[in-house]
Amino acid sequence: MWREMIEDLKDPHLVARIQQFFGVDISYENPSPVTSQPDDPSRIIDKNGLVHENGKGIVHTNDESPEPTEKSSMERGLPVNNYFWYYLFLFGTELGDETFYCMFIPFWFWNIDGAVGRRIILVWSIIMSVGQALKDIMCWPRPACPPAVRLQSKWSQEYGMPSTHAMVGVAIPFGIILFTLNRYVYSVCSAIVMAVLWCSLICLSRLYLGMHTVLDILAGLGLAGAMMIPLVPIVDFTDRYLVTNEAALFLLFAIGAAAIIYYPVSDRWTPTRGDTAMVVSVATGIYLAALINFKTGAMQPPLIAPPYNIMWPTWTMLRCTILRTVLGFCCVLATKALSKFLGYTTICAILRVNAKDLMNSENSHENKDKVLVDLFCKYISCFMIGFNTVYLLPNVFIIMGIDRPAFFTEM
């Protein structure tokens, strides 16, 4: 019974039915507009050994090329009948993307609460690292297209099990609730409703876009929920030690480096190792910055113990918030670009390879030097974003007179 249930939840036809419910045109005459990836072959071999192209009964041998019988996917356009759901779920899937992290993490530290932010980042980095590693250990493909329709190709090179989007959909919104529960006075019921909507939007977006099976989503939700049970109290307890103790921070560096160096190797290249480098480097950069703030005396314990009433911003506070956010985001973009350039140049010089040739090299995924350089640049740029978010930019805000007064009391 369990095996049948698992097979049903893995069935790409179930994904296709969900897509059809939200207005996606499921038709073999209108296949996925996204170019097939290694885990999404357009050539399907049926039980009789016949090869079908894009769900159509085109049969040919391995040394033959099929006749082009259809217009290109760009000429056909997207097989979407309801663009409200399409754009809503595009937004939902971005809640688990690097762009969202680069915006959400700095905004939270500059404008809301650094103590809660550090704890969320630590939980997020651990859960993401485990989820990404499991993808390359299990090597389960994404839903077959057809019968489903792949509306996005951004993460197609990754394997599908478990869904790290679903894991992030649990870790961030519910982590916010758990870490603010005894810190602020607010309506917990309203917060839970918002967290459920946030998580549901992310999960449904992955099904709608044809990127995950229902089993991938459920496994991600269950794994993240199970991990948060021990992680939340552990992170809450260890945060102060990471902020105040150099040895504890060195351990964080070592664990992060080990997670990248000894990352499980799958049968082909996937971007999951780079994503792991991103999350561990952000966490390390943030905690190093917090340690420097503490050691220099800038960070002090709060004068008033929690819980705190939420203080809604005045017009003056709102103007400062907007200035901090706009200036900060510009600096984040500059930090990412500059760190990537300097990191690329430095590591290429160490490896004694030509940076321009390496950058333009073909089959970059098979080039070990290229993979190593990209991984190093990812680590350095994300580390510097985390460091500048908590150390450099808050000090710039103080000089400009637009700082948030409680920033250096959030231990």
Stretch (H or E) spanning 64: none
CA angle 96, 98, 99 (to 5 degrees): 100
Choosing from 13, 52, 212, 365, the catalytic residue is 212
The residues near 294 (Cβ < 8 Å, ≥ 6 apart) are 243, 244, 411
* Residue 72 Cα distances to 69, 76, 81, 408, angstroms: 10, 6, 19, 56
Residue linked to tokens 């706009």: 326
Residue of 37, 48, 44 whose CA lies nearest to 58: 44
Q: Which of 13, 52, 60, 165 is catalytic?
A: 165
CA torsion through residues 20, 25, 29, 35, sign: negative
Active site residue 60: no
- Rounded-to-integer distance, Cα 282 and Cα 276, Å: 10
User: Minimal CA–CA distance to 106: which of 409, 404, 339, 411?
Assistant: 404
At which residue do the structure tokens 């952000």 appear?
282
Alpha-carbon distance values, 113 to 7, 51, 117, 310, 368 (Å): 44, 57, 6, 11, 41
Catalytic residue list contains 165: yes
Reduced to 3 DSSP states, what percent helix, strand and coil does the chain have, rounded to the nearest 5?
65, 5, 30
Residues known to be catalytic: 165, 212
